[in-house]
Amino acid sequence: VCVVIQVAWHWGYIVPAANPVAQSMATVRVMTFNTKQGVADAQQIVETIREEHIEVLAMQEVSSDLLNRLNDGGIADYLPYSVTPQLTWHDNGGVNVLYSAYPLQETTENLIPIESSSIPAATVVLNGRKVRFGSVHPFSPRPRNQGLWNKSLDSIAQLRHYDNNESYVLMGDFNATWDHASFRYLLGDRFTDAGQSAGEGLHMTFPAVFPIAEIDHIIYDKGVRATDLATKRIQGSDHLALLATLTIA
């Protein structure tokens, strides 16, 4: 009985969710990656961007030193546009950053008030549709951070009520799995988790050496669909990078 319940509970990991096919669609390759306080291999990040044709990149726990190493490694050759917040006292191991191959509109260093790392966000026009990307990293649910973890996820959940004329894509280390009620509350009836709906199985991202938890996510609005989910090991980090192809209807 328990096995049957678990299979039904995780059905979206087995069979992709139904999604109407539009006549005109655009695709974009995306990646999210927690860099472990900026010690990840910058050259391998740039090589992954090139090899995987990444067009929008969200990273977490980024240090000033990593930003310099990425610049030296030529990240601007592939992703010339970016948003990087200022360091604050409540940063969670470093700042979140957002890189793009496309010009960024309506950029902000902090999408919403939140008691964890600021959420850099920007709008990209794809297929004539505005898609607002953000890089997120709420606190981890350790005993001393339990309240902050809940507050962080609740803050992100407020985006469910934001402008419906834009489609949101939030990528990052959510420090939560789909089985957490707080994460499902964040999704509500507006957002969809790529892993839980693509029908491509589990994509564990933490810890990198022997991943047993799917805490890095790509979540998105109606009219967006994820396929080709994959994880990739990048040296220096305790997380795996999560990659996907998004189709924008």
| Residue 19 confidence (pLDDT) | 60
* pLDDT mean across residues, the chain: 91
pLDDT at 11: 62
Backbone phi, then psi, for 133, in 5-degree steps?
Answer: -95, 145
Q: Quick one: pLDDT at residue 13? A: 81
pLDDT at position 249 is 83
The predicted pLDDT at position 52 comes to 98
Average pLDDT over residues 32-52: 98
Which among 138, 142, 132, 141 is positioned nearest to 153, based on CA atoms? 138
What mean pLDDT comes out for the span 52-61? 98
Alpha carbon distances (Å) from 148 to 58, 90, 101, 139, 152: 22, 11, 33, 6, 6
pLDDT band of 18, cuts 50, 70, 90: low
pLDDT at 213 over 80: yes
Note the pLDDT tens digit of each residue in 187-201. Answer: 999 999 999 999 999
Residues of the chain with pLDDT > 90, as a percent, come to 73
* Model confidence, pTM: 0.93
Sequence spans of domains, the chain = 2-248
Residue 25 has pLDDT above 70, yes or no: yes
pLDDT tier at 20, thresholds 50, 70, 90: low
Q: At 101, which amino acid appears?
A: A
42/143: higher pLDDT: 42
Which tens digit of pLDDT belongs to each residue from 64-123?
999 999 999 999 999 999 999 988 777 888 999 999 999 999 999 999 998 889 999 999
In angstroms, rounded to a whole number, what is the distance separating the alpha carbons of residues 80 and 149?
Answer: 33
Across 207-220, average pLDDT: 97
Residue 31 has pLDDT above 80, yes or no: yes
Whole-number pLDDT of residue 195: 94
- Cis bond before residue 16 (omega within 30° of 0): no
Percent of the chain with pLDDT over 70: 93
2-248 architecture in CATH?
Answer: 4-Layer Sandwich (3.60)
